Amino acid sequence: MKGVGDRRWRYVLLTIWPVVTLLSLLSTGCGYSVVRPQAPVPDAISRLHVAAIEAGSGDPVFADRLRRGLRTLIRRQGRFTLTAGAEEAEVILRVDLDEPFTRPVSFDEYDEVLDYETTVVANVRLEGRDGEELWGAERISSTRGHAAVSAAVVTSSAQFVGGGSALASDLEEMDAVQLGEARRAVASETLVDDLARAIHARLMGGF
């Protein structure tokens, strides 16, 4: 029995010894260190510039609204002081938008589209003056549904029921196309707000 016990202890020691050795190397500073995946920007760095957002093949109005939304959120949060130009800043926030993707999500009995869903994806990075990337996040996305611009007013559609508001008197004065365009405009504005908040949350989460 004693021999069996000794063999078990030798097995345990051989199993845990490599782990103990590695931990010892890390703790004694022998050329090894634990790397944090997202080291924060030093507190001394405070002046930030939000660069103009290139719309690419997307909507330039959307890109401009997104930039203004980000500036508003950053200003309110207070971690950074916004600058008017990049030359005055210590760090620059750059946002690249992928081409927005829209797909139909619901249909009527005649296979006419009732609702669409649009997704916008942003790739974000925070750069120093020398162009070095201090922080980055890929494929931050936001999705919103909106009613189709059709020949009928679909009051049961998801976007009509769930987003924005409309007065009965307004509905009486709007034709189907006008109502559809108005619903799509509301969805676009909400999509901008959602994406700005998502980017800001990821940005501040890195600190």
Query: pLDDT for 143-174, tens place per residue?
Result: 988 777 554 444 444 444 455 445 545 544 54
Q: Tokens for 2, please give them.
A: 């004693």
What pLDDT sits at residue 193?
Answer: 94
Quick one: pLDDT at residue 161? 46
- Parse the chain into domains and list their residue ranges: 38-205
Residue partners of 195: CB distance under 8 A and separation at least 6: 66, 69, 120, 122, 140, 141, 142
pLDDT in tens, 40-53: 577 788 999 999 99
pLDDT value of position 29: 44
pLDDT at 40: 57
Residue 114 makes CB contacts below 8 A (sequence gap 6+) with 106, 107, 108, 147, 148, 150, 154, 157
Measured distance CA(137)–CA(122) in Å, rounded: 9
The single residue listed with the structure tokens 């009732």 is 114
Q: What is the DSSP letter of 110?
A: T
Task: Assign domain 38-205 to a CATH class.
Answer: alpha beta
The pLDDT averaged over each successive group of 10 residues in the chain (207 residues) is: 54 50 45 42 87 83 94 94 95 92 85 86 92 92 76 46 50 47 67 94 81
pTM assigned to the model = 0.64
